[in-house]
């Protein structure tokens, strides 16, 4: 009888441990840290290729809610870059905990043909959030972040500052939420719009602080069906 009970306990232990390992493995697959794909995060090394590699794996992940993580305590230098969809998942999360910076000078930009710095294209169910900072280093030129044809998106809880011109540009997007965003640029920066909307519907912007060089005194506005 004791041997039987001992055998049952051993089997139960094996099942619990195996299940726990499977859960942990499943969770780890849903998180894609850019550092694991070669990003350095020293503020000097070009991490664009690493970010694109992480994005490719992340976007192709057959997971309910994959997460792309930009870790805290690091600063990632990115050239003009487009994160292309559509992704396999309808709910994709980008967590910005560290800092993302643009090239420091006009001469350092490798591709000036783009009309933006960071672009998410054809990505539905996109949520970008975190305590990190996106710094366009716009003092050299005075559209940092662009969403083009992205539906059901969420932007929340991060700071974007010193854009080259427009801080956030939303185009051809339907159903989106922008909340608890801090847009910050010097008062004398030319035409650094906070948030620009074009050809988009059902975009809700609330509880955000927009301090830009121009067009920043907008409040208590509701525009519907026009």
Q: Rounded to whole angstroms, how far apart are CA atoms 30 and 61?
A: 8
Asked whether the beta carbons of 105 and 65 are under 8 A apart, the reply is no
DSSP 191: T
CATH top-level class for 32-211?
mainly beta
Q: Where are the domains of the chain?
A: 32-211
Long-range contacts of 46-54 (CB under 8 A, 24+ apart): 46/77, 46/78, 46/79, 47/76, 47/77, 47/78, 48/78, 48/79, 48/81, 51/76, 51/78, 51/81, 51/83, 52/81, 52/83
Q: Rounded to whole angstroms, how far apart are CA atoms 106 and 63?
A: 39
For the chain, 226 residues long, give each residue's pLDDT as a single digit of tens. Answer: 555 445 454 554 454 444 444 444 444 457 999 999 999 999 999 999 999 999 999 999 999 999 999 999 999 999 999 999 999 999 999 999 999 999 988 788 876 666 789 999 999 999 999 999 999 988 777 678 889 999 999 999 999 998 877 889 999 999 999 999 999 888 777 767 888 899 999 999 999 988 887 654 555 556 555 4
């Amino acid at each position: 009888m004791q041997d039987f009970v001992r055998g049952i306990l051993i089997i139960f232990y094996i099942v619990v441990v195996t299940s726990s390992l499977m859960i942990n493995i499943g969770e780890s697959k849903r998180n894609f840290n850019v550092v694991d794909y070669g990003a350095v995060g020293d503020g000097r090394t070009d991490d664009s290729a690493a970010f694109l590699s992480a994005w490719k794996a992340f976007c192709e992940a057959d997971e309910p809610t994959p997460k792309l993580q930009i870790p805290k305590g690091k600063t990632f230098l990115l050239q003009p870059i487009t994160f292309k969809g559509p992704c396999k998942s309808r709910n994709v999360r980008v967590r910005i905990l560290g800092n993302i910076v643009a090239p420091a000078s006009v001469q350092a930009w490798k591709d000036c043909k783009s009309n933006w710095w960071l672009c998410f294209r054809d990505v539905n169910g996109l949520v970008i959030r975190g305590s990190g900072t996106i710094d366009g280093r716009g003092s050299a030129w005075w559209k940092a972040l662009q969403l083009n044809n992205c539906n059901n998106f969420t932007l929340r809880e991060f700071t974007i500052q010193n854009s080259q011109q427009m801080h956030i540009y939303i185009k051809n997007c339907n159903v989106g939420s922008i909340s608890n965003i801090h847009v910050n640029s010097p008062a004398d920066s030319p035409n650094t719009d906070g948030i620009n909307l074009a050809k988009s519907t059902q975009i809700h912007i609330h509880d955000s602080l927009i301090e830009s060089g121009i067009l920043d005194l907008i409040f208590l506005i509701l525009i519907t069906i026009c």
